[in-house]
A and B are shown apart, each in its own frame.
Chain A
Amino acid sequence: MMGNQPTQDHATRAEVFNRDEARVDWHDKTLWFIRQKRDRAAWTIPDWEALRDQASAIKDNVLSNLHDYLISFEAQAQRNGVVVHWAADAEEHNEIVHQILKRHQVSKIVKSKSMLTEECRLNEYLHDHGVEVVDTDLGERIVQLAGEPPSHIVLPCIHWKKEEIGALFHKHLGTPEGNADPTFLTAAARTHLRQSFMSSKVAITGVNFGVAETGEIVVCTNEGNADLGVQLADVHIACMGIEKLIPERKHLSVFLRLLARSATGQPITTYSSHFRKPRPGQEMHIVLVDNGRSERMKHHSFKNALKCIRCGACMNTCPVYRRSGGHSYNYAIAGPIGSILAPSLDMKQYADLPFASTLCGSCSNVCPVKINIHEQLYQWRQVIVQAGYVSKQKEVGIAAMTAVLSRPWLYRYAGNVGRWFLKTFPTLASNKINPWAKQREMPAPPSQSFRRWYQDNRKKK
């Protein structure tokens, strides 16, 4: 699954995923099921849209006051007895964490889910420095045992079948061969990871929200792995992107009402833990990480991506993500949000990602903090084309698409031609000019366009 070459682009990697059609269908359906659970959860909240507006407004306020909020957060956290570190980039973040581990002379630690540490490649860094990191989220542990990165920010092993997990556990944990029962496998993982919890002196966690007013951090999990790790360790290291701040404690209500409902359709995660002061005798560190965030804040069109609360809803709804799999994005954060975050870190390396979208806008519709994801995808395409980081084939496609979308009459005409073309030469559409037609049959074209159908129907009334 791994071994993604940086020279391959998203389309090539998606093609690999698409070779197993049954698996793609299953992946697609599973994620759509989660999207539907999200819808049902959202519909139970009459204030849902107002909450999204409010969350977005709070994040706007954060992004326009971040300097002062960080200073307040730091002062409060220090008053609470927490050591605050500042890391300008991934490397500095990794060094800071490693220094703390060195001082405590530990060679094995537990870590709960943190997309920031994935972004910084902390596990690899620590591995190279002789420290073993045990990921304690079940899904993350599964992909870790398999030597893979997570394929989804909330559901790290969503691309794995239970039979494969059974075989993986048989190999690594010694479970009986052929046992693929989720309850049995989860129990085996519980026993296996309990040993790490009981013996680890240091626990690393991510941060869902940091509160500028109080200096506390909030970590949300369903499994309880963050809490178990922290409460049994002598040292807690929390790694946090600077954009995770919110102004006041009371604002947590807005975000916690949105987060789990958007992510999995649950009313709230099982645990929403507020760490304000370390437990007696414990050492607590917070590492504040920039790693390109302040640079992004300067770009009016792209800074809204920093509002992301990592719920994963945009991935679950994305027709491209669902049918290409998280690994096809080759970045710690996959899907629509990853496709607008990655290019600001390295435009050349991730030039392909903003093109891995149909621009259908479903991502923006579900995003709990109302990030205009699909518009940013479109804007990134233009920036990337201007910078010359795009292959010839795509350049032609974009030029044509831009031409079509900017001229309504041509759009109508092209639609008619397209429908005629599909009917006349159904297999020709699946050619090399149209990369989206790879690995799939084109659907039967409708005899009428939606526009004409609408007009005809209106006339009939």
Chain B
Amino acid sequence: MSRDKMLLAIREALPKEATAIPDYQPSATSFDVVQKFIDTLVGIGGAVIKVSSLSVVNDYVIKHFSGQRVVSLVQGVDSYATTLEADPHLLENVALTVVPGAFGVAENGAVWITDGSMGDRALPFIANNLAMIISAQDIVPTLHEAYQRIGADGYNFGTFIAGPSKTADIEQSLVLGAHGPKSNTIFLLA
């Protein structure tokens, strides 16, 4: 069986001494995390809207997406869904989904979300537009703090999403909405 053969070959190829991983402490950051997050995300094609309450988010959704299918996973924002179709293909007609993000990362504009808050894992990718809500308190400076925060979390699926789906494959011209959402809006609760 190839497994044993491969492991044997790998064992034989190892050096006598294993090398250790040196300690690494990133230097402290001095930027304002909220401002950095906003600047970075806007720079990669996302949008940030500061809101004082969920009802402001709700008004925004009604104003921009009335008459279209909205799936909200945040109570207080319509249309709040407690269950979804079992077949993810049926989510293709979702114009906007609103999901709770876990936290944001200032240095790259990414928001971390896990399967527990996605309703269906396909939803953040198949919806035409994606909005996530995070608290302004929940922004860490860099990915180092991000993984400290994730720690040993037992998610089944987790992802950093930074801005809308995009491609620059045609002559390096940036186009938003390659396969996934065409827009990425972060509502920052403060």
Q: Which residues of A contact B (CB under 8 A)?
A: 30, 33-34, 45-47, 50, 54, 57-58, 60-61, 64-67, 70-71, 80, 86-88, 92, 136-139, 142, 155-157, 160-162, 165, 182-183, 185-187, 190, 193-194, 197-198, 222-225, 227-228, 231-232, 242, 247, 249-254, 256-257, 264, 266-277, 279, 288, 290, 294-295, 297-298
* Selected contact of B9 from candidates A142, A275, A279, A294, CB within 8 Å: A294
**In the complex, per-residue mask of B31-63: 1 if CB is within 8 Å of any chain A CB, else 0:** 000000000100010000000000000000000
Q: Are B170 and A232 in contact (CB under 8 A)?
A: no
State the CA gap A280–B27 with chains docked (Å): 41
Known pairs A87-B2, A182-B171, A228-B126; A67 contacts B179 (CB<8 A): no
Q: Which residues of A contact B179 (CB under 8 A)?
A: 136, 190, 193-194, 197, 223-225, 228
Give residues in B with beta carbon < 8 Å to A: 1-3, 5-7, 9-15, 17-22, 24, 26-27, 40, 44, 88-89, 92, 105, 107-110, 115, 120-122, 125-126, 142-144, 146-148, 150, 152, 155-173, 175, 177-181
Q: Smallest CB–CB gap between A47 and chain B, Å? A: 5
User: CB-CB < 8 A to B89: which residues of A?
Assistant: 198, 232
Asked if residues A274 and B155 are in contact (CB atoms below 8 Å), the reply is yes
Residues in B with CB closer than 8 Å to A288 are 6
Provide the bound-state CA to CA distance between A87 and B20, in Å. Answer: 28
From known contacts A257-B142, A268-B160, A274-B159, infer whether A223 and B178 are also in contact, taking CB-CB under 8 Å.
yes
B125 touches A222 (CB 8 A): no
Bound: A129/B40 CA distance, A: 47
Cα(A247)–Cα(B7), bound, Å: 17
- Kindly report which residue of chain B lies nearest to residue A247, judged by CB atoms: B21
**Cβ contacts under 8 Å, B105 to chain A:** 268
Q: Which residues of A contact B108 (CB under 8 A)?
A: 267-268
Q: Give Cα A294–Cα B164 distance, bound, in whole angstroms.
A: 39
Q: What's the Cα separation between A86 and B165 when bound, in Å?
A: 33
Residue picked from B20, B24, B161, most chain A C-beta under 10 Å: B24
Q: 19 A–B contact pairs at CB < 8 A? A: A33-B172, A60-B19, A142-B170, A165-B170, A182-B173, A182-B175, A186-B175, A225-B179, A231-B121, A266-B44, A268-B105, A270-B165, A270-B180, A273-B158, A274-B155, A274-B158, A276-B158, A279-B121, A290-B6
- B171 A161 Cβ-Cβ under 8 A: yes
A267 near B109 (CB under 8 angstroms)? yes
| Residues of A contacting B: mostly | helix
Q: How far is B4's CA from A400's CA once the two chains are assembled, in angstroms? A: 47
Inter-chain pairs besides A67-B11, A268-B110, A298-B12, 14 sampled, C-beta below 8 Å: A54-B21, A61-B18, A64-B17, A65-B18, A88-B5, A161-B171, A182-B173, A183-B173, A193-B179, A197-B179, A247-B21, A253-B144, A270-B162, A294-B13
Residue with the highest number of chain B CB atoms closer than 10 Å, among A34, A165, A251, A279: A279
B178 near A138: Cβ-Cβ < 8 Å: yes
B162 touches A67 (CB 8 A): no
4 interchain residue pairs of minimum CB distance = A224-B180, A139-B169, A267-B108, A223-B178
| Complex: chain B residue closest to A250, CB-CB | B147
Contact A222–B178 (Cβ < 8 Å): yes
Contact A157 B21 (CB under 8 A): no
Given contacts A190-B179, A267-B108, contact A249 B147 (CB under 8 A): yes
A162/B170 in contact, CB under 8 A: yes
B18 to chain A minimum Cβ distance, whole angstroms, is 4
What residue in chain B is nearest A256 (Cβ atoms)? B143
Please tell me if the beta carbons of A290 and B9 are within 8 angstroms of each other in the complex. Answer: yes
Chain B residues within 8 Å of A290, by CB: 6, 9-10
Q: How far is the CA of A162 from the CA of B164 in the complex (A)?
A: 23
Query: Contact check: which of B15, B121, B165 meets A222 at CB < 8 Å?
Result: B165
A139 to B167, CA, bound (A): 9
Could you tell me the distance between the alpha carbons of A253 and B26 in the complex, rounded to whole angstroms? 11
Query: In the complex, A124→B110 CA distance in Å?
Result: 37
- Shortest A67–chain B CB gap in Å is 5
Interchain CB contact (< 8 A) of B162 among A197, A252, A253, A267: A267
With the chains together, A64 CA to B147 CA distance in Å? Answer: 25
CA distance A369 to B168 in the complex (A): 25
Question: Is A297 within 8 A of B178, CB to CB?
Answer: no
Q: Please tell me if the beta carbons of A54 and B6 are within 8 angstroms of each other in the complex.
A: no
Contact B178 A225 (CB under 8 A): yes
Find out whether the CB atom of A227 lies under 8 angstroms from the CB atom of B166.
no
Query: Within 8 Å CB of A257, what residues of B?
Result: 107, 142-143
User: When A54-B22, A67-B11, A274-B157 are in contact, do A182 and B170 touch as well, CB less than 8 Å?
Assistant: yes
Residues B169 and A155 in contact, CB atoms below 8 Å apart: yes
Partner of A297, one of B10, B160, B166: B10
Which B residues are in CB contact (< 8 Å) with A250?
147-148
CB-nearest residue of chain A to B184: A270
Q: Which residues of B contact A47 (CB under 8 A)?
A: 26-27
Closest to B15 in A: A64
Q: Shortest CB–CB separation between residue B146 and chain A, in angstroms?
A: 7
B22 touches A232 (CB 8 A): no
- Enumerate chain A residues within 8 angstroms of B170, measured Cβ to Cβ: 138, 142, 157, 160, 162, 165, 182, 185-186
B180 adjacent to A298 (CB under 8 Å): no
Residues B7 and A267 in contact, CB atoms below 8 Å apart: no
Q: A171 → chain B, closest Cβ, in Å?
A: 16
Return the chain B residue nearest A266 by Cβ.
B44
Cα separation A66 to B27 with both chains bound (whole Å): 30
Residues of A within 8 A of B92 (CB): 194, 198
- A277 and B157 contact, Cβ closer than 8 Å, known pairs A182-B171, A267-B107: yes
